[in-house]
Chains A and B, each alone.
Chain A
Amino acid sequence: MTLAERIQASVLGALPGAEVTVQDMTGGGDHFQVIVLSPAFKGKTLIEQHQMVHASLGPLKDEIHALAIKTRAV
């Protein structure tokens, strides 16, 4: 399982039913963008949504050098 796949699984684990897209921005395997669409974001500010995504990564955070996050409440 690639790191991108592990990121997707980790976010989905914490946000079941979310639509999660992970892109490797440089091909180097440590700069990622993750796009998360989830009903769980409804009523949450952008910062709260991003904090939820950060929290869903758990220990994976240490393997990721740069992470751009895009979230939408759906």
Chain B
Amino acid sequence: MTNTTEKIQSEIRADKIVIFMKGTPDFPQCGFSAKTVEIFKSLGFPFHTVDILAHPDIRALLPQISNWPTFPQVFVKGKLIGGCDIVSEMHSEGQLKPLLESAFKDSK
């Protein structure tokens, strides 16, 4: 039985963009998760989500692994870039799209 750490690591590697959120893109269960997903939907890049409400073990452990206390948590190419505030700030300052473009340009 894979443990929670392995589950988290495989989710983080599941796609170039991975969002650990409350709920799902179509039924977000928290305003911050909804706002974050809307930003990524508007940018048009594919992304993978994990509903931490359905995975209480991930919800409990991820903050310690990522050293970030809240949700949502957005990973790009395996690296945490932030929660709702940071993603929104990067988006409004035009830093998010170039970051994603370069992530998808790399072959690996």
Question: Interface of A with B (CB < 8 Å)?
Answer: 45-47, 50-51, 54, 61, 68-69
Contact = CB atoms under 8 A, between A and B. Distances in A.
Main SS at interface, chain B:
mixed
Contacts of B81: 45-47
Contacts, number: 22
A48 to B, nearest CB: 10
Interface string B75-103: 00000111001100110000000000000
Main SS at interface, chain A:
helix
- How large, as a class, is the contact surface on chain B? 10 to 19
Interface of B: 67-69, 80-82, 85-86, 89-90
